[in-house]
């Protein structure tokens, strides 16, 4: 089975074309835009909720987008084991939709941050980071509400279940307060649901897929998904 990526487009999305370009022109995968009003995933077996400012971030980031017609299909798809990745605003939408636990709040600095950060791949995910556990990668961030928070008892559960896939770190892989750009609890930059088929991450791997721009360290996220799907023979792969 070959991967077919679907990039959902909400009013206010601004990283949808970044994701499309990286997937189609840098990685060579089949990809299609999915308009938020369409209650169909058009046969896609990977769904990407891209970054941006869906619905202008009114009320809360992702709070309105979760009500879009397509999200009912995305939620159903995810609950049936389909692969979903939410990047930046997409991560916020996943939390608002209940597909991931916790919430993204304002950065500790109360400022928008746009810079490269280093991530330590701390979890093991056959889907999103196959063979990458323990690696340090450099990927850009661009957000004002990327401070991940969850209650203390719930963070213990995430740690115990191995759901924390990416943590902010130093270039040498040290997890420290200084390497945390936004104040996220336990330096969390990305995590999965318990089943392992849904990933939310604040950094933008789609902006790190080309040597032309000096950074292709984000390619492994998408290539890992593609390799996983190619190894399976069922529709939703889980």
Instruction: Name the residues annotated as catalytic.
Output: 88, 204, 206
The label of the residue with tokens 């088929």 reads: 197
From the CB of residue 131, how many other CB atoms can be counted at a distance below 10 Å? 12
Q: How far is the C-alpha of 174 from the C-alpha of 120, rounded, in Å?
A: 8
Rounded to 5 degrees, φ, ψ at 3 are: -75, 145
Q: Which of 33, 45, 35 is nearest to 2 (CA)?
A: 45
User: In this structure, what are the phi and psi dihedrals at residue 205, rounded to the nearest 5 degrees?
Assistant: -65, -25
Q: What burial class does residue 186 get, using C-beta atoms within 10 Å of its C-beta: 0-12 exposed, 13-18 middle, 19+ buried? A: middle
Check residue 222 and give left, alpha or beta (phi > 0: left; psi -120 to 50: alpha).
Answer: alpha
Question: For 39, phi and psi rounded to 5 degrees?
Answer: -85, 45
Exposed/middle/buried for residue 92 (C-beta within 10 Å: 0-12, 13-18, 19+)? buried
Strand partners, 166: 121, 190
């Amino acid at each position: 089975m070959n991967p077919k990526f679907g990039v959902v487009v909400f009013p206010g999305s601004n990283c949808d074309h970044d994701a499309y370009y990286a997937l189609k022109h840098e990685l060579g995968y089949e990809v299609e835009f999915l308009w938020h009003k369409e209650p169909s995933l058009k046969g896609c077996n990977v769904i990407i909720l891209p970054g941006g400012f869906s619905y202008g971030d009114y009320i809360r980031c992702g709070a309105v987008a979760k009500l879009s017609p397509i999200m009912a299909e995305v939620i159903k798809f995810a609950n049936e084991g389909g692969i979903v990745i939410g990047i930046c605003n997409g991560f916020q939408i996943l939390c608002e939709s209940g597909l991931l636990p916790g919430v993204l709040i304002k950065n500790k600095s109360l400022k928008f941050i746009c810079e490269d950060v280093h991530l330590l791949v701390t979890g093991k995910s056959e889907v999103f980071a196959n063979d990458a556990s323990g690696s340090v990668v450099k990927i850009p961030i661009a957000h004002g509400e990327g401070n991940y928070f969850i209650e203390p008892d719930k963070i213990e559960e995430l740690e115990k279940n191995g759901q924390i896939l990416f943590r902010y770190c130093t270039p040498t892989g040290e997890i420290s307060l200084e390497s945390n750009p936004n104040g996220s609890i336990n330096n969390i930059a990305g995590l999965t649901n318990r089943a392992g088929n849904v990933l939310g991450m604040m950094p933008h791997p789609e902006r790190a897929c080309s040597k032309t721009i000096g950074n292709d360290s984000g390619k492994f996220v998408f290539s890992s998904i593609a390799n996983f799907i190619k190894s399976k023979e069922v529709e939703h792969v889980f």
